[in-house]
Amino acid sequence: MISALGVVQICAFGSLFYSFPLIAEAMRTDLGWSKPEIYGAATLGLALAGFASYPVGAAIDRGLGRYVMSLASVAAGLLLIAWSQLDDIVLFYIVFAAIGCLQAATLYEAAFAVVARRVGAGNARDAITMLTLWGGFASTVFIPLIQLLIEWYGWRGALVWLGLINIVICAGLNYLFIDPKRDHPVPVREAHEDRPLAGRRAVSWAFRQPVFWALMITMLAYAAAFSALIFHLYPLLLERGLSAAGVVAVLAVIGPSQVAGRVLIWVIAKRASVRSVGSVIVAVFPLAVIGFALAPPDVLVMGGIAALYGAANGVMTIVRGLAVPEMLSREAYGAINGALLAPSHMVQAAAPLVAAWLWAASGSYDAVLIVILAGALVMAAAFWTAAMLSRLAA
């Protein structure tokens, strides 16, 4: 199941997330829409993904993961094909709003909840780590692939191919390999024991925990910094003086670096606590942002910075997946994790549009990088606080 879901994550992230900056630039040239207009659709879609996070997680907690992820992949594929036919910006916003909702049911958070239900949240560390190793190849595989598809078929043809990948590969693998009959059995509780946390009661309990709020600030700042940077890194590096081929080469480094970072952590810190690993990793993000801002426009130099950023981001994905069971609660993983990440989806939604506005107002990405750096610093401070609080509560 992990291998199948890993292939799904490569295809889903590649087609639904990493494709946007490349398709957006091609659309802007072809249709004459402004960058804020196009990125506003990404903002709307990611915001709606935030609203969908809790119900998706709660549904997976009830054993509906096969149907949630399979049907979402089919719907996402059909919407990508519909996107390929659009010339009207209002329809574009409607389609991308629906795609955003489906991201909550197709990307990591949904897959992590499925894995936690299969093996038990307390035993999910190795499985989630392995899943992220697969997913780390999404940008490496799909950024060059999408670039080729755009060159061969145009952005419209590229979207048709991406839609078919979701319908055939993602939906097929989700349905075949997510089997609720093989889920980890729920422990039987005696009459005098407290009921297990579930649904709204689990979320209400989490809201009363200081660790939850420190983690939420961490995820909010991480989402803002990551989303603004990843959605604008392609045009940012072009502005810095790299060629289109050079930018693609730099971006292609991020995926293997994510995998390398996860493998390194698995090898040298497999049993280290999430709070210890995360406390080190969050310090890397501000350094990477400073590097993108100040480094010369050289492919090797920028590639090295992208590798550092990719490794940190790869490990941070594991931290996000394991923070709830290791720092908060091992019960109701889908519901609590969905509630924790719902606001970060909304911030992640706003960040690309805000970055586009800042770029339009200032005429360069300098102001954007300053804001991203501030977000990275807030993320580090908030996670260190969460680590301290969880250690005191242990």
38 pLDDT higher than 60: yes
CA angle 121, 123, 124 (to 5 degrees): 65
**Are the C-beta atoms of residues 337 and 212 closer than 8 Å to each other?**
no
Residue of 228, 233, 235 lying closest to 353 (CA atoms): 228
194 pLDDT higher than 70: no
Contacts of residue 244, defined as CB under 8 A and 6 or more positions apart, other chains included, come to: 238
56 pLDDT higher than 50: yes
298 pLDDT higher than 60: yes
Per the domain annotation, does 330 fall within a domain?
A: yes
Average pLDDT over residues 79-92: 93
Count of other CB atoms within 10 angstroms of residue 394? 9
Per the domain annotation, does 243 fall within a domain?
A: yes
Total structural domains within the chain: 1
Sequence letter at residue 1: M
Contacts of residue 367, defined as CB under 8 A and 6 or more positions apart, other chains included, come to: 358, 359, 361
φ/ψ (deg, to 5) at 85: -100, 0
Per the domain annotation, does 232 fall within a domain?
A: yes
Query: Would you give the end-to-end CA distance of the chain in angstroms?
Result: 33
**Are the C-beta atoms of residues 127 and 118 closer than 8 Å to each other?**
yes
Q: What is the largest CA-CA distance in the chain?
A: 68
pLDDT of residue 199: 53
Q: What is the Cα–Cα distance from 311 to 226, expressed in whole angstroms?
A: 13
Average pLDDT over residues 69-85: 95
**Are the C-beta atoms of residues 204 and 327 closer than 8 Å to each other?**
no
Residue 120's pLDDT band (cuts 50, 70, 90):
confident
| pTM of the predicted protein model | 0.70
Per the domain annotation, does 162 fall within a domain?
A: yes
Residue 190's pLDDT band (cuts 50, 70, 90):
very low
The winner for highest mean pLDDT among 37-41, 79-83, 363-367 is 79-83
Return the structure tokens found at 4: 């199948």
Per the domain annotation, does 189 fall within a domain?
A: no
pLDDT in tens, 269-285: 667 788 888 888 999 99
Per the domain annotation, does 144 fall within a domain?
A: yes
pLDDT of residue 188: 47
pLDDT in tens, 370-386: 999 999 999 999 999 98
Q: What is the Cα–Cα distance from 44 to 339, expressed in whole angstroms?
A: 19
pLDDT in tens, 316-352: 888 887 887 787 777 777 777 777 777 887 787 778 7
Average pLDDT over residues 11-25: 88
Q: What is the Cα–Cα distance from 355 to 231, expressed in whole angstroms?
A: 9
Per the domain annotation, does 194 fall within a domain?
A: no
Q: Which residue has the higher pLDDT, 319 or 167?
A: 167
Return the structure tokens found at 198: 């579930």
Quote the percentage of the chain above a pLDDT of 90: 26
- Domain with 58, as residue range(s), is 2-180+199-393
| DSSP per residue, 136-202 | TTHHHHHHHHHHHHHHHHHHHHHHHHHHHHIIIIIHHHHHHH--GGGSPPPPP--TTSPPPP-HHHH
pLDDT of residue 121: 58
Q: Which residue has the higher pLDDT, 25 or 198?
A: 25
Instruction: Specify burial of residue 51 (Cβ count, 10 A radius: 0-12, 13-18, 19+).
Output: middle
The winner for highest mean pLDDT among 37-46, 118-127, 144-153 is 144-153
Residue 193's pLDDT band (cuts 50, 70, 90):
very low
289 pLDDT higher than 50: yes
pLDDT of residue 146: 92
Residue of 227, 248, 120, 173 lying closest to 10 (CA atoms): 173
Q: What is the Cα–Cα distance from 276 to 253, expressed in whole angstroms?
A: 26
The winner for highest mean pLDDT among 41-50, 89-98, 106-115, 234-243 is 89-98
174 pLDDT higher than 70: yes
Residue 151's pLDDT band (cuts 50, 70, 90):
very high
pLDDT of residue 70: 95
Return the structure tokens found at 184: 């980890």
Average pLDDT of the chain to the nearest whole number: 84
What CATH number should be reported for the domain holding residue 10? 1.20.1250.20
Return the structure tokens found at 134: 């697969």
pLDDT of residue 186: 55
Per the domain annotation, does 187 fall within a domain?
A: no
Residue 189's pLDDT band (cuts 50, 70, 90):
very low
Average pLDDT over residues 127-156: 86
